[in-house]
């Protein structure tokens, strides 16, 4: 499937580059519905977890996970993704993401390093900045 042309309903084509700029800052997340992606791109997204503790009551915790885009619409909107290291696809994109183009990072090596962090649900990051610091060494030269 081809990417939308500049000026098409998918936007100016600059949205894809903005994901990398947001990554460089380490704090920017964008609305996934307005982000133009390609299959194979990666993104970091936030998950809010609620834990019920017997003595302490409900506690909230935010974690950040790494995912790979597996399907996009004609306009470049994320339609499916999988958590890095997992084989099952999710059919709806998270609302807020930090997108990094597959052209800027060695995705297979990054995904292997993410899996090496531990078992599922123990490899998540405490903050978006921590996720970006983890990704930074896997950037291709010149990125």
Q: In what order do the strands lie in the sheet with 78-83?
A: 30-31, 96-100, 42-53, 57-72, 78-83
The answer to whether residues 24 and 40 touch, using CB atoms and an 8 Å cutoff, is no
Q: How confident is the model at residue 112 (pLDDT cuts 50, 70, 90)?
A: very high
- 127 belongs to a structural domain: yes
Summarize pLDDT for 13-55 with one digit per residue, the tens.
333 433 444 444 344 677 777 778 899 999 999 888 887 878 8
Residue 68 has pLDDT above 50, yes or no: yes
Task: Please state the domain count of the chain.
Answer: 1
Query: What is the span of the domain harbouring residue 83?
Result: 15-138
Is pLDDT at 9 greater than 70 in this prediction?
Answer: no
Residue 13, CA distances (Å) to 4, 23, 130 in order = 8, 17, 28
Question: Could you tell me if residue 3 is inside a domain?
Answer: no
Q: Is residue 110 part of a domain?
A: yes
pLDDT at 133: 92
Beta bridge partners of 49: 61
Question: Considering the chain, what percentage of its residues have pLDDT values greater than 70?
Answer: 79
Question: Is 82 within the bounds of a domain?
Answer: yes
Give the residue from 88, 71, 9 showing the smallest Cα distance to 37.
71
Domain assignment present for residue 123? The answer is yes
82 forms bridges with which residues in the sheet? Answer: 68
Does this model's pTM top 0.85? My answer is: no
pLDDT (0 to 100) of residue 17: 36
What pLDDT sits at residue 51? 78
């Amino acid at each position: 499937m081809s990417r939308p042309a500049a000026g098409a309903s998918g936007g100016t084509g600059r949205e894809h580059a903005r994901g990398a700029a947001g990554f460089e800052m380490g704090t920017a997340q964008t609305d996934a519905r307005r982000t133009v992606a390609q299959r194979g791109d990666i993104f970091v997204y936030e998950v809010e977890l609620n834990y019920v503790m017997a003595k302490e009551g409900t506690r909230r915790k935010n974690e950040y996970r790494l995912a790979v885009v597996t399907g996009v619409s004609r306009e470049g909107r994320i339609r499916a993704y999988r958590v890095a290291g997992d084989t099952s696809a999710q059919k709806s994109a998270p609302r807020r993401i930090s997108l990094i183009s597959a052209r800027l990072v060695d995705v297979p090596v990054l995904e292997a390093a993410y899996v090496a962090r531990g078992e599922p649900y123990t490899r998540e990051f405490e903050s978006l900045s921590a996720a970006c610091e983890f990704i930074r060494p896997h950037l291709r030269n010149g990125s």
